[in-house]
């Protein structure tokens, strides 16, 4: 998921200390009030310990109790604010580190009208001469001018089977040197009508050739990649992302492509 540092609450403000002057004025008010009430309500002889404790000690103890409770509340608020700030800084550091997570490319595969190697695609982009021609995609009644992989139009099932064989063979060679206990995840991005034709065969061939269990992740594209980094970062693992860009109804100047990248969250 994306990192939003702006959504983190602002730093908690410093808790102000109780005003000493106000509490001293309150003490004077309490003492004067206690003396006045004692003199007003005292009916017996105004001497002895009980009288002076009632007139002076009891108001002072009452003020001291209130002042102590206020200090406890102040310390509790202060500790709470400092704790929130510590948690906030830890959250910021954690979110920054999460946003800096990355993956290392272990291997790739690509099949496109311009070629099956990265150098071929770069050369096609340099000369700006894409292999565009009129073709008849499976979801259109009329030909469309775009860069098509024609083998997927003549016999889709056979072409998908051949693509799965090439992809799984490539994955086998990439993951063979890696420890067998590494968890493996699979992201398959293609049109909905292609899923039933390729999903089970792809998982079965991967397990058969590599001897590993590949768990299919939900989601597509960068959202699936982001979810893998977020949820599977604690343990070393492998992600195989396969994209079959074979739209049933492509737009003009569009292009077909089959690509794969094998990623690891540890270097």
CB atoms within 10 A of CB 164: 21
Are the CB atoms for 152 and 162 separated by under 8 Å? no
Q: How confident is residue 127, by pLDDT bands cut at 50, 70 and 90?
A: very low
Q: Using the 3D structure, point to which of 79, 99, 119 is the last residue of a domain.
A: 99
Give the mean model confidence (pLDDT) for residues 129-143: 68
Are the CB atoms for 15 and 81 separated by under 8 Å? yes
Q: Based on the domain organization, do 83 and 188 belong to the same domain?
A: no
Give the mean model confidence (pLDDT) for residues 51-66: 88
Q: How confident is residue 118, by pLDDT bands cut at 50, 70 and 90?
A: low
Q: Based on the domain organization, do 134 and 179 belong to the same domain?
A: yes
Q: Based on the domain organization, do 214 and 176 belong to the same domain?
A: yes
Are the CB atoms for 121 and 109 separated by under 8 Å? no
Q: Which of 83-87, 89-93, 129-133 has the lowest mean pLDDT?
A: 129-133
Q: Based on the domain organization, do 35 and 54 belong to the same domain?
A: yes
Phi and psi of 104, rounded to 5°?
-110, 135
Q: pLDDT, tens digit, for every residue of 20-40?
A: 889 899 989 999 998 888 888
Q: Based on the domain organization, do 160 and 238 belong to the same domain?
A: yes
Q: pLDDT, tens digit, for every residue of 181-203?
A: 999 999 998 888 888 888 889 99
Q: Using the 3D structure, point to which of 45, 79, 99 is the last residue of a domain.
A: 99
Residue 194: its pLDDT value, please? 85
Q: Based on the domain organization, do 132 and 10 belong to the same domain?
A: no
Residue 20: its pLDDT value, please? 85
Q: pLDDT, tens digit, for every residue of 164-175?
A: 999 999 999 999
Q: pLDDT, tens digit, for every residue of 87-114?
A: 989 988 888 887 778 889 998 888 877 6
Q: 189 to each of 38, 123, 156, 158, how far by Cα in Å?
A: 86, 26, 17, 19
What does pTM read for this prediction?
0.67
Q: Based on the domain organization, do 87 and 131 belong to the same domain?
A: no
CB atoms within 10 A of CB 63: 19
What is the 3-class SS of the chain, one letter each residue?
CCCCHHHCCCCCCCCCCCCHHHHHHHHHHHHHHHHHHHHHHCCCCCCCHHHHHHHHHHHHHHHHHHHHHHHHHHHHHHHHHHHHHHHHHHHHHHHHHHHCCCCEEEEEEEEECCECCHHHHHHHHHHCCCCCEEECCCCCCCCEEEECCCHHHHCHHHHHHHHHHHHHHHHHHHHCCCCCCCCEEEEEECCCCCHHHHHHHHHHHHHHHHCCCEEECCCCHHHHHHHHHHHCCCCCCEEEEEEEECCCCCCCCCECEEEEEEEECCC
Residue 149: its pLDDT value, please? 79
Residue 248: its pLDDT value, please? 80
CATH number for the domain harbouring residue 219: 3.40.47.10
Q: Based on the domain organization, do 38 and 87 belong to the same domain?
A: yes
Q: Using the 3D structure, point to which of 55, 80, 99 is the last residue of a domain.
A: 99
How many domains, the chain? 2
Q: Based on the domain organization, do 256 and 208 belong to the same domain?
A: yes
Alpha-carbon distance of 172 to 165, in angstroms, equals 10
Owning domain of residue 229: 104-264
Q: Based on the domain organization, do 258 and 226 belong to the same domain?
A: yes
Q: How confident is residue 119, by pLDDT bands cut at 50, 70 and 90?
A: low
């Amino acid at each position: 998921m994306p990192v939003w540092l702006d959504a983190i609450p602002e730093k908690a403000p410093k808790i102000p200390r109780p005003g000493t002057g106000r509490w001293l004025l309150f003490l004077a008010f309490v003492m004067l009030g206690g003396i006045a009430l004692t003199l007003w309500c005292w009916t017996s002889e105004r001497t002895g310990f009980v009288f002076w404790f009632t007139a002076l000690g009891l108001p002072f103890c009452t003020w001291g109790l209130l002042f102590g409770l206020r200090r406890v509340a102040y310390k509790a608020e202060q500790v709470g604010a400092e704790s929130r700030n510590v948690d906030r800084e830890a959250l910021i550091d954690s979110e920054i580190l999460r946003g800096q997570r990355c993956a290392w490319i272990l291997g790739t595969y690509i099949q496109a009208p311009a070629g099956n190697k990265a150098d071929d695609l770069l050369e096609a982009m340099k000369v700006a001469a894409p292999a565009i021609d009129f073709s008849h995609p499976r979801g259109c009644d009329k030909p469309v001018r775009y860069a098509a992989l024609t083998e997927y139009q003549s016999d889709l099932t056979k072409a998908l089977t051949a693509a799965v064989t090439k992809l799984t063979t490539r994955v086998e060679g990439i993951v063979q040197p890696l420890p067998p206990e590494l968890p493996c995840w699979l992201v398959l991005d293609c049109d909905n009508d292609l899923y039933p034709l390729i999903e089970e065969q792809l998982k079965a061939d991967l397990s058969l050739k590599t001897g590993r269990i590949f768990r299919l992740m939900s989601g597509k594209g960068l959202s699936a990649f982001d979810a893998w980094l977020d949820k599977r970062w604690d343990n070393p693992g492998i992600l195989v992302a396969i994209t079959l860009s074979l739209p049933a109804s492509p737009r003009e100047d569009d292009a077909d492509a089959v690509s794969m990248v094998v990623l690891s969250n540890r270097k």
